[in-house]
Amino acid sequence: MAVTENNLTVSGNFENLAKIGDFISQAAAQAGLDAQASYAVQLAVDEACTNIIEHGYGGEGRGQIQLTYHIKEDGLEIIIYDQATPFDPSLVPEPDIHAPLAERATRGMGLFFIRKSVDSYEFKFGTPEGNQLILFKRRP
Protein backbone atom coordinates (compact mmCIF):
# COMPACT_ATOMS: atom_id res chain seq x y z
CA MET A 1 0.00 0.00 0.00
CA ALA A 2 1.39 3.41 -0.94
CA VAL A 3 1.74 6.04 1.77
CA THR A 4 -1.06 8.62 1.48
CA GLU A 5 -1.16 12.05 3.11
CA ASN A 6 -3.79 14.74 3.42
CA ASN A 7 -4.20 18.02 5.34
CA LEU A 8 -6.96 20.10 6.88
CA THR A 9 -6.63 23.50 8.55
CA VAL A 10 -9.55 25.03 10.47
CA SER A 11 -10.04 27.87 12.90
CA GLY A 12 -10.19 26.85 16.54
CA ASN A 13 -13.97 26.88 16.86
CA PHE A 14 -16.12 24.13 18.31
CA GLU A 15 -18.34 24.16 15.21
CA ASN A 16 -15.33 22.88 13.23
CA LEU A 17 -15.17 19.67 15.28
CA ALA A 18 -17.74 18.11 12.89
CA LYS A 19 -15.53 18.98 9.88
CA ILE A 20 -12.53 17.50 11.71
CA GLY A 21 -14.57 14.37 12.50
CA ASP A 22 -15.50 13.94 8.83
CA PHE A 23 -11.86 14.39 7.81
CA ILE A 24 -10.69 11.74 10.30
CA SER A 25 -13.52 9.38 9.33
CA GLN A 26 -12.40 9.62 5.71
CA ALA A 27 -8.77 9.02 6.72
CA ALA A 28 -9.74 5.97 8.79
CA ALA A 29 -11.73 4.51 5.89
CA GLN A 30 -8.82 5.07 3.48
CA ALA A 31 -6.46 3.43 5.98
CA GLY A 32 -8.71 0.36 6.20
CA LEU A 33 -9.58 0.76 9.88
CA ASP A 34 -12.66 -1.12 11.04
CA ALA A 35 -15.60 0.68 12.71
CA GLN A 36 -14.23 0.25 16.23
CA ALA A 37 -10.75 1.54 15.37
CA SER A 38 -12.25 4.39 13.35
CA TYR A 39 -14.42 5.45 16.29
CA ALA A 40 -11.45 5.26 18.66
CA VAL A 41 -9.22 7.48 16.54
CA GLN A 42 -12.09 9.95 15.97
CA LEU A 43 -12.63 10.13 19.74
CA ALA A 44 -8.93 10.80 20.38
CA VAL A 45 -8.77 13.56 17.75
CA ASP A 46 -12.01 15.16 18.97
CA GLU A 47 -10.72 15.21 22.55
CA ALA A 48 -7.37 16.65 21.47
CA CYS A 49 -8.94 19.39 19.36
CA THR A 50 -11.44 20.27 22.08
CA ASN A 51 -8.55 20.57 24.56
CA ILE A 52 -6.61 22.79 22.13
CA ILE A 53 -9.56 25.16 21.77
CA GLU A 54 -10.61 25.16 25.41
CA HIS A 55 -7.32 24.96 27.28
CA GLY A 56 -4.59 25.77 24.77
CA TYR A 57 -6.19 28.78 23.15
CA GLY A 58 -8.42 29.67 26.09
CA GLY A 59 -11.54 29.81 23.95
CA GLU A 60 -12.85 29.86 20.43
CA GLY A 61 -11.44 31.84 17.52
CA ARG A 62 -7.98 32.39 18.98
CA GLY A 63 -5.92 30.15 16.72
CA GLN A 64 -5.92 27.48 14.08
CA ILE A 65 -5.73 23.72 14.17
CA GLN A 66 -4.01 21.83 11.37
CA LEU A 67 -4.38 18.10 10.89
CA THR A 68 -2.28 15.89 8.66
CA TYR A 69 -2.72 12.18 8.17
CA HIS A 70 -0.44 9.56 6.76
CA ILE A 71 -1.67 6.13 5.79
CA LYS A 72 1.08 3.74 6.76
CA GLU A 73 1.60 0.08 5.99
CA ASP A 74 0.16 -0.95 9.37
CA GLY A 75 -2.31 1.82 10.19
CA LEU A 76 -3.09 5.52 10.38
CA GLU A 77 -0.90 8.33 11.71
CA ILE A 78 -2.50 11.68 12.50
CA ILE A 79 -0.55 14.79 13.43
CA ILE A 80 -2.39 17.68 15.04
CA TYR A 81 -0.61 21.06 14.97
CA ASP A 82 -1.49 24.14 17.00
CA GLN A 83 0.13 27.37 18.17
CA ALA A 84 -1.31 27.24 21.70
CA THR A 85 0.59 27.67 24.93
CA PRO A 86 2.59 24.45 25.52
CA PHE A 87 1.74 22.33 28.55
CA ASP A 88 3.32 19.36 30.29
CA PRO A 89 1.07 16.31 29.77
CA SER A 90 2.91 14.47 32.56
CA LEU A 91 1.42 16.97 35.02
CA VAL A 92 -2.14 15.99 34.10
CA PRO A 93 -3.15 13.36 36.66
CA GLU A 94 -4.71 10.09 35.59
CA PRO A 95 -8.39 10.15 36.59
CA ASP A 96 -9.59 7.64 39.17
CA ILE A 97 -12.02 5.75 36.96
CA HIS A 98 -12.86 3.41 39.82
CA ALA A 99 -14.06 6.15 42.17
CA PRO A 100 -17.83 6.56 42.60
CA LEU A 101 -19.29 8.90 39.97
CA ALA A 102 -20.09 11.55 42.58
CA GLU A 103 -16.41 11.69 43.59
CA ARG A 104 -14.85 11.79 40.13
CA ALA A 105 -13.40 14.98 38.75
CA THR A 106 -15.63 16.57 36.15
CA ARG A 107 -12.60 17.49 34.05
CA GLY A 108 -9.40 15.81 32.96
CA MET A 109 -10.83 12.88 31.02
CA GLY A 110 -9.64 14.10 27.61
CA LEU A 111 -6.04 12.95 27.91
CA PHE A 112 -7.24 9.68 29.44
CA PHE A 113 -9.46 9.02 26.40
CA ILE A 114 -6.65 9.97 24.01
CA ARG A 115 -4.21 7.62 25.73
CA LYS A 116 -6.70 4.73 25.77
CA SER A 117 -8.02 5.22 22.21
CA VAL A 118 -4.83 5.03 20.16
CA ASP A 119 -1.90 2.64 20.02
CA SER A 120 0.69 5.39 20.45
CA TYR A 121 0.82 9.12 21.02
CA GLU A 122 3.61 11.66 21.30
CA PHE A 123 3.56 15.33 22.23
CA LYS A 124 6.16 17.68 20.75
CA PHE A 125 6.31 21.30 21.85
CA GLY A 126 8.23 24.26 20.48
CA THR A 127 8.81 22.87 16.99
CA PRO A 128 9.01 25.28 14.02
CA GLU A 129 5.43 24.21 13.14
CA GLY A 130 4.22 24.77 16.71
CA ASN A 131 2.91 22.11 19.06
CA GLN A 132 2.38 18.63 17.66
CA LEU A 133 0.39 15.67 18.87
CA ILE A 134 1.21 12.55 16.87
CA LEU A 135 -1.37 9.78 17.13
CA PHE A 136 -1.14 6.30 15.65
CA LYS A 137 -3.85 3.65 15.31
CA ARG A 138 -2.94 0.20 14.00
CA ARG A 139 -5.09 -1.57 11.48
CA PRO A 140 -6.77 -4.52 13.24
Closest CA to 139 of 52, 35, 44, 58: 35
Please give the model's pTM, rounded to 2 decimal places: 0.88
Give, for all 140 residues of the chain, the pLDDT tens digit. 445 569 999 999 999 999 999 999 999 999 999 999 999 999 999 999 999 999 999 999 999 999 999 999 999 999 999 999 888 887 776 766 666 766 655 566 788 889 999 999 999 998 898 999 999 999 98
> Which residues lie closer than 8 Å to 109 by C-beta, 6 or more apart?
47, 95
Can you list the domains of the chain with their CATH numbers? 4-138 (3.30.565.10)
